[in-house]
Amino acid sequence: MENLSFILAPLFSSKLLIVLFLGTLFGLVLGVLPGLGPTTGGALILPFTMTLDPISAIVLLTAIYCAGTYGGAITAILINTPGTPAAAATCLDGYPLAQKGEAGRALGMATVSSVVGGLISVLVLIFFAPLLAQLAYEFGQPEYFALAIFGLTMLASIGEGSPIKNLIAGAFGILISTVGKDFMTSIDRFTFGINELTEGIGFIPVVVGLFAISEMLTQSTLLNQVFNRVALKAVKLPTKDDYKKTWKTILRSSGIGSFIGVLPAEGGTVASLIGYSEAKRWSKKPEDFGKGSIEGIAGAEAANNAATGGAMVPTLALGIPGSATTAVILTGLIIHGVRPGPDLFREQPEFLYGIFGSMLIANILFFILGFFGAKLFARITLVPNKLLWPMIFAISVCGTYSLSQSLTDVWIMLFFGVIGFFMRRYGFSVVPVIIGLILGELVEGTLRQSLVIFEGNWLMFFQRPIALIFFILSLIALGFPLIKKKKI
Amino acid sequence: MSNVRNKKRAGSSLPFFFKDSTIVPFIIILISSILLYITFTFDIVPPILNRGIQPATFPKALLLLIISLTLIIFFLSIKKPWKEEKKLPKEFYITLGCFLLFLFVSKFLDFFLGISLLSAIVSYFWGERRLIFILFVSILFPIIVFIFFETILGLRFPSGIITDLYYS
C-alpha cells in the first residue's frame, strides 16, 4: 500500500508532471530523428539534468527513454529508417505496410502495442522486480555467453534474407566490436595506426550509416519510382480484427521484452528482434512477415517498449545497465549521488517506485502525444525525396558528430553507409550487423572470462544447466529456419 | 517487359567470374583473408599474463567463420544462382561522389559548408530545379540544424571558414 502511494506520487506533483511531459515530448522528437534516439539524446541532456533534483532528473531521462523508444517506430514505419535501433525490426513490416497505403494503421498498431508493452512491463516490474532481479543476478559469465549466443542465433530467422547471409552479417557485426584496444590486455586490434580507432567503433555511427545513409544511397537508385514516399493521413486505432490477430502476439512480446530487458547488457533491440521472430514463428501467416504483417509490427513494438521497463531492473537493482540508454540513466543516477544496487530497494523505495510510477505515466503520455501528434511528425515523409534525404543527411551527420564530437565518427558513418548499401543490394540484411555489434563485447568478454573460470576447459560450459538450455535453444533457433524454409 | 529482357540478358550473358554470386563471395573472402592475415600481426600476450585466450583468437575465429559461411553460399549459388542486379544509375554515383566531396570540404574547409554543398548538389541532381527549395535544403535547413545542436544541445562544431565566423 505504501509502495502504491510512492508509485502514484508523480501524479500529484505538478513539477514532475511538467518534467514528464517535456521528457516525453523530447523523447518523441529524438526517437523520430534518425541517429539521435533516447541514448544519444539522453547523453546530451545529461549535463542539463544537473540543474534538477535527482528524482526529476531520472524521471526526465526515463520519460525520454520510454517515449524515444516508441518514437523510433514513427520513422521506421514512414521512411524505413529506424529512429532508434530498437525500432529496426519495426521497419521489416511497418514500412511495407505503409507502402501499401496503410501507414495510419501501422502507426496505430505500433502505438497501441508500444503502450501495452510498456505498461505491462512496468506492472511486471512493480510486482516481480525483486524476483526478476534475483534471477538475473544468479547468471554468471558462462550463462551470459550462452544467452548472447542464443540472441545471435536468432538472427538466422530474422529478415527476408537467407539465414547464412544473416549469420555472416552477424559475425561481421561482432568483428566490428573487436576493433580498438582489447579490453583485457589493452592490445590494439584492427586500429591500423589510427588513434581514434583505439576507443573502438561507436554504435551510433554504424547504426546511422547502415540505416540512414545506405537508405539514402538506395533512394538514389529509385528516383523514378513513385512509392518511396509514404504519406500519413491519420493514425488509426487498430480494428477489432487487428486486435483479434495481434492480442496474443502483444502479450507474448510484452513478456519476452520484459524478460530480455531485465537481462543485463541486453535491451530493446534484441527484445524487438526476438519478439518479432517469435511473432513470425507463432503466426498462422508467417509468409506475410516482411511484407507488411500487422503481427510483425505488434511483436516488435510491444517487445521493445516492454524492454524499457525490464532494462531498468538490473540498472536500479544491480547497478548493471540493461541497455545502452539505461547506461546513460545509470550515469545520471551516479552523478546525482544515488548509488544503484539492492540496497536501493530497501533504503529509498519512494525513489525507486516513484521512477516506476513515472514510467507508467510516460507510457500513457506518449500514447496521447503519439496518437494525436504522429501526424505532425509524419510531415517529414510528405517532403519529396530530393529535399527529404539531403535534410536527413544533415541531421544524421550532426547527430553522429554529437556523440563524441569527432569527425572520425562521421567518416565511419559514411563508410558503413556504403557498406550497408552493397549489403542490402546483395541480400545481406544490415540488422544482424547491429545486433552483432551490440552483443560482440558481451560475447567475447563472457567467453574469455568463462574460460578463465574454467581454466581453459570449454566442455565446462555444458555443465552449467542454464547455459546448456541456452545452447540447446540456440541450436533449435539455428536449425529451425534452415529445416523449415530450406532456403539459403 | 524490357526490364525483364534486360535482366535475363544480364544474367545469362555474363561469364562465371563476373556474376554477382562469384564476385561478392570473392570480395568477402579476400577482405576476410587480409584481415585474418592482420590478426597474425597482433601482439601476443606472454603466457604468464594471458587470461583465457589470446586477443587475436576471437577475431581469427570470427573471420574463419565468415570465410566458411561465405564458401557455403558460394557453392550453393552454383546450384541456385543469385538474381543479377540492375546497373546503378548515375544519381547513385553522383551521391557517392558528393560523400567524397563532403569528406574533403568538411575536413579542410568547413563542416557546414560540406553539408550545404552536398545538400545542394544531391537535391539538384535528384530532380529539384526550384531555386527556393534548393536554397532551403542547402542553407536554411543546415542553419536550423546548427542552431538546434549548438544552442539547444550545447554542441561545439569543428572550426571552419563559416563556423568560425559564428564562434568569433
Res A181 pLDDT > 90: no
Using the beta-carbon criterion (under 8 Å), do B107 and A171 form an inter-chain contact?
Answer: no
Comparison of pLDDT for A206 and A262, the residue scoring more: A206
From A166-180, A196-210, A311-325, B89-103, the region with the lowest mean pLDDT? A311-325
Predicted pLDDT at B60? 94
Where is average pLDDT lowest: A370-384, B44-58, B61-75, B136-150?
A370-384
User: How many domains does one find in chain A?
Assistant: 1
Confidence of residue B123 (pLDDT cuts 50, 70, 90): very high
Q: Chain B contacts of A216, Cβ < 8 Å?
A: 95
Closest Cα of chain B to A469: distance in Å?
Answer: 23
> Could you say which of B49, B51, B107 has the minimum Cβ distance to residue A452?
B51
Nearest Cα to A260, choosing from A302, A298, A303, A297? A303
Taking 70 as the threshold, does the pLDDT of residue B22 lie above it?
A: yes
Min Cα distance A485 → chain B (Å) is 15
Dihedral-angle region of residue A290 (phi above 0 means left; psi in -120 to 50 means alpha; beta otherwise): left
Over chain B, what is the mean pLDDT? 84
How close does chain B come to A351, measured CA to CA in Å? 28
Q: Which residue has the higher pLDDT, A469 or A7?
A: A469
Closest CA to A59 of A284, A441, A361: A361
Whether B40 shows a pLDDT value over 80: the answer reads yes
Q: B52 vs A394: CB contact, 8 Å cut-off?
A: no
Task: With beta carbons less than 8 A apart as the criterion, state whether A253 and A117 touch.
Answer: yes
Backbone angles phi, psi at A456, to 5 degrees: 85, 0
- Place A436 in a pLDDT band, splitting at 50, 70 and 90: confident
Helices (H), A80-177: 88-99, 103-137, 141-153, 163-177
Min distance A204 CA to chain B CA atoms (Å): 16
User: Chain B: nearest CA to A451, how far in angstroms?
Assistant: 5
User: Is the separation of the CB atoms in A395 and A33 below 8 Å?
Assistant: yes
**A174: closest chain B residue by CA:** B62
Contact between B59 and A175 using a beta-carbon 8 Å cutoff: yes
In order of A29, A48, A83, A422, B19, the CA distances from B14 in angstroms are: 49, 60, 40, 20, 6
Helices A14-32 and A37-45: crossing angle in degrees, nearest 10, is 130
Determine whether the interchain pair A168/B138 forms a contact, defined as Cβ–Cβ distance below 8 Å. Answer: no
A168, B122: Cβ pair inside 8 Å?
no
Which of B68, B121, B137 is most worth mutating to test chain A (most A CB atoms within 10 A of its CB)? B137
pLDDT bracket for residue B5 (50, 70, 90)? very low
pLDDT in tens, A76-127: 888 777 767 778 888 888 888 888 878 888 888 999 999 999 999 888 778 7
| pLDDT tops 50 at residue A487 | no
The answer, yes or no, to whether residue B31 has pLDDT greater than 80, is yes
All residues of chain A having their beta carbon less than 8 Å from the beta carbon of residue B80 are 488
pTM: 0.70
Among candidates B58, B59, B69 on the partner chain, residue whose Cβ is nearest the Cβ of A164: B69
| pLDDT in the model for residue A349 | 73
| Beta-carbon separation of B52 and A452 below 8 A | yes
Identify which has the larger pLDDT, A107 or A348: A107
Confidence of residue B125 (pLDDT cuts 50, 70, 90): very high
Q: Contact, A293 vs A283, CB < 8 A?
A: yes
pLDDT for the residue numbered A457: 78
DSSP assignment of A368-415 equals HHHHHHHHHHHGGGGS-HHHHHHHHHHHHHHHHHHHHT-HHHHHHHHH
Q: How many angstroms separate the Cα of A82 from the Cα of each of A70, A88, A254, A435, A436?
A: 10, 5, 20, 14, 17
* DSSP-assigned letters across all residues of A61-96: HHHHHHHHHHHHHHHHHHHS--SSGGGHHHHHHHHH
Least CB–CB distance from A387: residue in B102, B123, B153? B123
Mean pLDDT of A8-33: 82
Cβ pair A187:B55 closer than 8 A: yes
> In chain B, which residue's Cα lies nearest the Cα of A395?
B145
CB-nearest partner of B66 from A168, A216, A407: A168
Task: Collect all residues of chain B within an 8 Å Cβ-Cβ radius of residue A426.
Answer: 20, 24, 82, 85
Band (B102; pLDDT cuts 50, 70, 90): very high
Q: Which of A401, A431, A441 is nearest to A35 (CA)?
A: A401
> Are residues A171 and B66, on separate chains, in Cβ contact within 8 Å?
yes
Interface touch A189/B53, C-beta < 8 Å: no
pLDDT of residue A383: 60
Residue B16: pLDDT band (50, 70, 90) is low
Give contacts of B128 with chain A, Cβ < 8 Å. Answer: 384, 386-387
DSSP state of B143: H
**Shortest Cα–Cα distance, B3 to chain A (Å):** 14
Picking from B67, B71, B73 by the largest number of A CB atoms within 10 A of its own CB, the best residue to mutate is B73
What is the interface pTM, i.e. ipTM, of the complex? Answer: 0.88
The strand pairing partners of A189, in sequence order, are A180
B120 CB neighbours in chain A (<8 A) are 390
**A31-76, pLDDT tens digit by residue?**
776 545 676 667 656 656 766 888 888 889 889 888 888 888 888 8
Q: Which long-range contacts (CB under 8 A, 24 or more apart) does A243-251 make?
A: A245/A294, A245/A295, A246/A109, A246/A113, A246/A294, A246/A295, A246/A298, A248/A282, A249/A279, A249/A282, A249/A283, A249/A295, A249/A298, A249/A299, A249/A302, A250/A112, A250/A113, A250/A116, A250/A117, A250/A298, A250/A299, A250/A302, A251/A120, A251/A302
Distances (CA, A) of A174 to A170, A195, A426, A454: 6, 21, 20, 23
Among A223, A452, A488, select the one facing B126 at the smallest CB separation: A223
**In chain A, which residues have their Cβ closer than 8 Å to the Cβ of B70?**
168
The band of B39, judged by pLDDT with boundaries at 50, 70 and 90, is very high
Length of chain A: 488
Interchain CB distance below 8 Å, A384 and B128: yes
Position A128 confidence tier, pLDDT thresholds 50, 70, 90: low
Q: Distance between CA atoms of A289 and A295, rounded to whole angstroms?
A: 8
Residues of chain B neighbouring A448 (CB-CB closer than 8 A)? 51-53, 58
For chain A, give the percent of residues with pLDDT over 70: 79
> B127, A223: Cβ pair inside 8 Å?
yes
Looking at mean pLDDT, say which of A155-159, A191-195, A199-203, B89-93 comes out highest: B89-93
Tell me the mean pLDDT in the region A450-463.
81
Do the Cβ atoms of B43 and A217 come within 8 Å? no
Is the pLDDT assigned to residue B118 strictly greater than 90? Answer: yes
Cell of A309: 521497463
Q: What percent of chain A has pLDDT over 90?
A: 8
- B73 and A425 within 8 Å at the Cβ level: the answer is no
Which residue of A172, A398, A415 to mutate against B (max B Cβ within 10 Å)?
A: A398
**Cβ–Cβ of B45/A187 closer than 8 Å?**
yes
Structural domain for A137, as ranges? 2-485
Which of B58, B66, B127 is opposite residue A444, by nearest beta carbon?
Answer: B58
Burial of B3 (0-12, 13-18, 19+ CB in 10 A): exposed
Helices and strands per DSSP (H, E), number in chain B: 8, 0
Cβ within 8 Å of residue A202, ≥6 positions away: A403, A404, A409, A412
pLDDT category, A453, cuts 50, 70, 90?
A: confident
Smallest Cα distance from A349 to chain B, Å: 33
How many C-alpha atoms does B165 have within 13 Å on its Cβ side? 7
Q: State the best of B94, B153, B155 to mutate against chain A, taking most chain A CBs within 10 Å.
A: B153
Cβ-based contacts of A167 with chain B (< 8 Å): 65, 69
What number is the average pLDDT over the span A427-439? 77
Pairs of CB atoms within 8 A across A/B? 164
Residue A266 contacts residue A322 (beta carbons within 8 Å): yes
Instruction: Quote the pLDDT of residue A15.
Output: 85
